[in-house]
Amino acid sequence: MANNPRLGQKRVRPREIMILGGAYISYGVGASFGTGIALLQYHGALGLWGILSQLISCVLTITLIYLVSKDCGDYGLKDMNRMFIHYCGPYLGRFFRWFTVVMLFLFTGTMFAGAAETFNTSYGIPLPVGTLIMLAAVIITVILGAKKLIDIIGNIAPIILVGMLIICVYSLIFHSDSLIEGSKLLIESCKDIRMTGSPVLAGVLEFGLVIVMTTGYLASVAGRQGTSKKELLIGNVSGEGSLFLFKIMLIFVFILNASTIIGSSVPIVLLGGKLGSVFGKIYALILELAIYTTAAGMAWQVVANVVPEKNKLYKPLCAVITLAAYGFTYLGPFSTLMMWVNTLSSYVGVVFIIALLYTRIFRHKKMQKVSDEPADTTAEA
């Protein structure tokens, strides 16, 4: 396989960075972030301490993105399999690869559950019909392949963030609680849904979740034709930085509106409804876009790890695997599915952190970078 000729170059194009940053944001929002349930479980339920836990998670995540994006360029890690073997060795690496594939498969199922619930709540569309709409959109997008996928989801990100920004600004101005009262209320009332009572552990656990969800995506994007290493680094890091700012804003929104969102599995959707039924329906549509971008990105990673895009079975498997992911939605309600998958992914992700640090500190001294290798005129079979 020929190496991407521009991966080692220093070319920086603003449009390419915006597409990569937008694609990262779109991939990361999804049903869990777009509804606010995951943010509430990891950070919001800790009240003001959630600011600290989110900051810890962000610093760790940006460090991870920088290191993995850089290594993918330096060592030619253009897919999930090579990336995990690079950091974890052949045996543990293959375990992480297939564990991640299974988790992404389950995450895709939770996205369908979130989409159906949002369609039903906001528009009265029956759950099966809402699911079919999302299934069709995801299958068609995944069939188009990686390059089209990144272009599509990268351009949807601004729409998602604008809708969320409107809700945040309105909820910060017209809030129901003070910071102190709201913080106490969230800490006391959200014990059953929070991941942990420790802000440090909460930050580390969300970081573990990000590892499972994001590292394979970072390796796959590294193979994007015509993208330089600098564009890859700046695009991915800027995407995570933008998400961090929105997450901090949302945590303050949750605290200041604690009495309003307690008991809701879709707190942001609930707050959006305060702006009126028309805006509530518009945001529900924006949320469906967020779910669509994440589900499509995850489904593509699952299919691409089973067969490459050029394989004749790729397109049929796009439909089969995506439909199979929908079956996961029958195991429980959306919030329960998210809690189960997030918890398992978080703890396993922490193990990968150890392997990554060991490789970066000790094993990289013995590894040869792609840019350091002598020119080879023979293509790999």
What pLDDT score was predicted for residue 248? 93
Amino acid present at 338: M
Q: What is the pLDDT of residues 290-314, one digit of tens each?
A: 788 778 888 888 888 888 888 888 8
pLDDT per position as a tens digit, 310-330: 888 888 888 888 888 888 777
* Number of domains into which the chain is organized: 1
Alpha helices in the chain (DSSP H): 14-35, 37-42, 49-74, 80-123, 127-144, 146-173, 179-189, 199-221, 229-256, 258-261, 267-272, 277-306, 314-326, 334-361
Domain that holds residue 48: 23-364
Residue 63, domain member (yes or no)? yes
Backbone angles phi, psi at 227, to 5 degrees: -105, 130
pLDDT of residue 250: 92
Domain presence at residue 288: yes
Query: Model confidence at 45, in pLDDT bands (50, 70, 90)?
Result: very high
Half-sphere exposure of 266 (CA within 13 A, CB side): 25
**328 in a domain, yes or no?**
yes
- pLDDT at residue 130 greater than cutoff 80: yes
Give the mean pLDDT of 103-126. Answer: 82
Mean pLDDT of the region 341-366: 83
Structure token digits, residue 46: 């800790």
Task: Return the ∠ at Cα 205 (arms to 200 and 207), rounded to 5°.
Answer: 100
Is position 251 within any domain?
yes
Residue closest to 174 by CA, chosen among 248, 239, 265, 271? 271
- Is 13 contained in some domain? no
On whether the CB atoms of residues 32 and 38 are closer than 8 A, the answer is yes
Q: Is the pLDDT of residue 238 over 80?
A: yes
The tally of CA atoms less than 13 A away on the side-chain side of residue 192 is 7
Render pLDDT for 163-215 as a digit per residue (tens, 0 to 9). Answer: 888 989 999 999 989 999 999 999 999 888 888 899 999 998 888 888 777 77
Q: Is the pLDDT of residue 144 over 90?
A: no
pLDDT at 129 over 70: yes
CB of 325 within 8 A of CB of 109? yes
Q: Tokens in use for 35?
A: 């509804």
Confidence of residue 147 (pLDDT cuts 50, 70, 90): low
DSSP 98-167: HHHHHHHHHHHHHHHHHHHHHHHHHH---HHHHHHHHHHHHHHHHHH-HHHHHHHHHHHHHHHHHHHHHH
95-101, long-range: CB within 8 Å, 24+ apart, which pairs?
Answer: 96/348, 96/352, 96/355, 97/216, 97/305, 99/212, 99/348, 100/212, 100/215, 100/216, 101/216, 101/301, 101/302, 101/305, 101/306
If we measure between CA atoms, which residue out of 32, 53, 61, 6 comes closest to residue 232? 6
Average pLDDT, the chain: 81
Cα three-residue angle 207-368-310, rounded to 5 degrees = 70
372 pLDDT tier (thresholds 50, 70, 90): very low
Asked whether residue 1 is domain-assigned, the answer is: no
9, part of any domain: no
CATH, residue 158: 1.20.1740.10
Q: Say if 112 falls within a structural domain.
A: yes
